[in-house]
A and B are shown apart, each in its own frame.
Chain A
């Protein structure tokens, strides 16, 4: 049973480009969470999605960031017009149900903005 798969593991972008990070949850999981870890900091919640719905985006920056979890395919975290401050590790997690405390993390995608 494959775990949460994130790709790419490493992504380099120049300022102004777009970054797309993908997350395939574990089989049977319909809840996805994105977290951001800035260098030398803890993880901060960004967004919680269920299939085709954004449940909680209270941690998402107001501009340039968007997330989706379509009916088919992986969840996508999209960052438009990246800036150096977007350089971070982005972790995805999934769960089968809400509110179970059972959360499984991917290995993270590390974005570097030059």
Chain B
């Protein structure tokens, strides 16, 4: 069975600090997708990134960066120079790579990030 663990339930930082969110996953599949989503206080889910298991390159998008380490089954997310608007719950998720599963996601429990001005 697949499992995603986000050990940090809540992180509080002061604006402009960097914050790293940990995500560790378990899967028997050799091919899979990993995701990060943001859920702001308004409640919708905002897609941030999708990474397939073949691609271990780290990625940077503006103030966001992701570190995928297949050897340790981790897919960590860093927000650089945090802003108040980054305050949200962030979810890491995993999906299998087989047609029978479709695009079924297994989510972690989420990490609440609070950025104080």
Chain A residues within CB distance 8 Å of chain B: 31, 33, 35, 41-45, 48, 55-56, 89, 91, 93, 95, 98-105, 107-108, 110
Contact = CB atoms under 8 A, between A and B. Distances in A.
A99 B33 CA distance: 9
Given A42-B91, A91-B45, A101 B107 contact: no
Contacts, number: 74
Contact of A103 (B91, B105, B109): B105
B102 A33 contact: yes
Nearest to A43: B107
B104 A45 contact: yes
27 contacts: A33-B103, A35-B107, A41-B110, A42-B91, A42-B107, A43-B91, A43-B93, A43-B105, A45-B106, A48-B101, A48-B104, A55-B102, A95-B103, A98-B99, A98-B101, A99-B97, A99-B98, A99-B102, A99-B103, A101-B50, A101-B95, A102-B50, A103-B95, A105-B37, A105-B44, A108-B44, A110-B43
A65 B44 CA distance: 23
Name which of A100, A101, A108 has the most chain B CB atoms within 10 A of its CB.
Answer: A101
Nearest to A58: B104
Interface of B: 33, 35, 37, 43-45, 47, 50, 52, 91, 93, 95, 97-110
Contact of A101 (B33, B37, B108, B109): B33
B43 A42 contact: no
B94 to A, nearest CB: 11
A24 to B, nearest CB: 16
A112 to B, nearest CB: 13
Nearest to A49: B102
A103 B103 contact: yes
Nearest to A104: B47
B48 to A, nearest CB: 12
Given A43-B91, A101-B33, A108 B106 contact: no
Contact of B103 (A31, A44, A89, A91): A31
B27 to A, nearest CB: 14
A75 to B, nearest CB: 14
A101 B103 contact: yes
